[in-house]
Amino acid sequence: MTELESTRSTVAGHGARHPGVIVAVLASAGLVASFMQTILIPIQSSLPERLATTRDNTAWVITITLLVSAICTPISGKLGDMFGKRRIALILLSLLVAGSVVA
């Protein structure tokens, strides 16, 4: 058995043990990420008062969140190809949880 076949069987065997848990975690992460991106929309009209600035400046809050997402998605995909999807997914989930706690 080659190293690649061994790696594939190990990865396939790992995922086959608890496929429901993996799907549930990934689905939850997708929902949380969607909620985090759209959480600013309902309070957009009150952001100038909350942040003590103009409407033009608060429009950047939403623009930046979408821009960061658009930039991070392909970068994280490339990192996943280079260092392993599981490792990068866990790092990104940890960052999401830490950012949610701080917010």
Q: Check: CB of residue 40 under 8 Å from CB of residue 65.
A: yes
pLDDT at 8 over 60: no
pLDDT at 1 over 70: no
Contacts of 47 (CB under 8 A, 6+ apart): 40, 58, 61
Burial of 37 (0-12, 13-18, 19+ CB in 10 A): middle
Q: Check: CB of residue 89 under 8 Å from CB of residue 27.
A: no
pLDDT at 37 over 80: no
Confidence (pTM): 0.57
pLDDT at 15 over 80: no
pLDDT in tens, 41-99: 888 888 899 889 898 888 888 888 888 888 988 999 999 999 998 899 889 888 878 88
Q: Check: CB of residue 76 under 8 Å from CB of residue 92.
A: yes
CA 1 to chain centroid: 36
